[in-house]
A and B are shown apart, each in its own frame.
Chain A
Amino acid sequence: MFVELNITLRVSRHPARNGKAFDEYRVQLEERMSVLDALFRVQREQDSSLGFRCSCRVGMCGTCAVYVNRVPRLACSTLVRSLECDVLTIEPLPHYPIVKDVAVSLQPFFEQWRRAKPAFRPRKPEARDLARIPKDSKYRRLTPTKRDCITCGACFAACSIVGMNDHYLGPAAINKAFLRVLDPRDAAREERVKVLDRSLDGVWRCHTQFNCTAVCPRHIDLTDSIVRIKRALFWPGRLLKP
């Protein structure tokens, strides 16, 4: 048994149609309806021209990240009821070029992602044995939660420094670099540190606003990663200690 309720979806349209930047749709709220479910309902029953992205629909791929009431969220994982609001404004994530309606291109995100050199580079590519990482090592202690990034781009959208600075690395790229820098098997530490240490657009542009941490759908403590890198850049020896 559920209470019948209608919600209003205000969806941003790009390009604007009939001079209106937003289109409004009424949707009957169902028991465990997610924002993505609501968008699909609109697309199938009311307006087939509505454009939005999704893929896995279970919060694993990061494709469906949109601005819901001006907070970056995964549409598939955000239950409408949890928003406690009957007008949902769906907009494209800020800081990205818009492709159509609420679908954006994540190109700026991946430009910075690549700059942080996210690929693992082995110290001993010819090695045949498994590397042994001690259970109580810094890498094992600090990184389990940091690996969950699904590159959804929410943190990049939420960061106000990204909003004012076109060249800032952004939380996800820094977090990825942190993972690699801490990895005892990785050989490219110095190169990554050089990128991270840039005063123009490296970690020093972060001012611990915590926007990124607040919106990460995988609950990664991104600000923590960035702050740890700052400390490591000041005390270089400490980072390298196991």
Chain B
Amino acid sequence: MTAHCDRDGRDDPDGTLRIRLSLPEIDALCLKAARGAGYSWGVAEEASFAARWLAARGLPGPAMLLAHLQRFDGKGWDEIVPVVGDVWSARKGGVLCALAVGSALSDRADLPGNRSTDALRIDGLASPMLILPFVQQNARAQHANLSVCWGRYEAVLSENGFTLAAEESLVDRDEPAVVVIRRVDRPARPTVAGADCLLENATMRGLSAFAHRTYVPATARSRAGAGAASSDND
């Protein structure tokens, strides 16, 4: 996969060439990238779930995840995790991580406090679009339609539906924003998930660089142990 990207990228100084990845490939790449960026394996699974969910709906999930990983690279969990109260915010007024927020939302889907009709406000959430997959999990768990509003965006998530209203360009999609989640009556249009996604080479390279941090350099001993103990020419 990496080799292929490099080959495609050779005549591509701007990194604008694109490569088609299947959803399982996106899953595997994003899992390793999030882990490489320092998230625990369990949160990294949420990251790959979110990137794949968005990619399957025609949104640049892997690119959003990459921007997210770059923003939070080197930050400690305590800095980026929400203090869960009436309003969710970061401990010292910093920027909130969408993976931490998304995981916490999804974990609370069945808690009574989360089923109220009151709106939930989340302050200073970076890459807000990354929480949409988790909000849909909640919509499923609660059999509800949930609206997520921030800036000039509004998404509605239902058990099997998803609509996103936004101006054409997603140029500010990664910027921190105040996000409000509330119940709404109207369900979102049912969506049919796609099976693959086009990644720009720069995204592929960026995620691969994070993933690379999870690999262990080979030693003579590790090479020797990996194969059969006998010849394959028989």
Report whether chain A binds chain B. Answer: no
Interface residues in chain A, defined as those with a beta carbon under 8 Å from any beta carbon in chain B: none
